[in-house]
Amino acid sequence: MRIVINMDLGGSFEVATDEPAEVFVVCEHTPSDRVYRLGPTHTVGRETVDAILRDDPVGHAGDDRHEAVKHRLLAAEAGERHLKPV
C-alpha cells in the first residue's frame, strides 16, 4: 500500500492511496475538534498514484539533498534568498 500526501505550492494538500486505508488528519489549530478521518475518495488506484509520483527520485531526511532543501524552505519562510554570495 502506498499513501501519497501531495502538497501544492500554496501548502494545500491532497491524499491519494492505491488501496483502501483509514487516513486521519490532526489539526492542532482547533483543540476541541482536532481529529478528522478522510472519506474513501482518497483511494484512487495504482495508476493514479504512479502518475502523481512520476519518475522523480525519492528523497529522505538523511539524503544528500536534505540540507539544501531545508535551507531553501527556511529561507523562503523568512523572506530571504536561499542562494547567498560567498
On the question of pLDDT at 86 being above 70, the answer is no
Answer with the residue of higher pLDDT: 72 or 17: 17
Tell me phi and psi for residue 26, to 5 degrees.
Answer: -110, 125
Over residues 64-70, the mean pLDDT reads: 78
Amino acid at 40: P
Provide, rounded to the nearest whole percent, the portion of the chain with pLDDT above 70.
97
Whole-angstrom distance, CA of residue 35 vs CA of residue 31: 9
Provide DSSP, 39-78.
-GGGB--HHHHHHHHTTPPP--TTSTTHHHHHHHHHHHHT
**Model confidence pLDDT, tens digit, residues 16-57:** 999 999 999 899 999 899 999 998 888 998 999 999 999 888
Q: Give pTM, 2 decimals.
A: 0.62
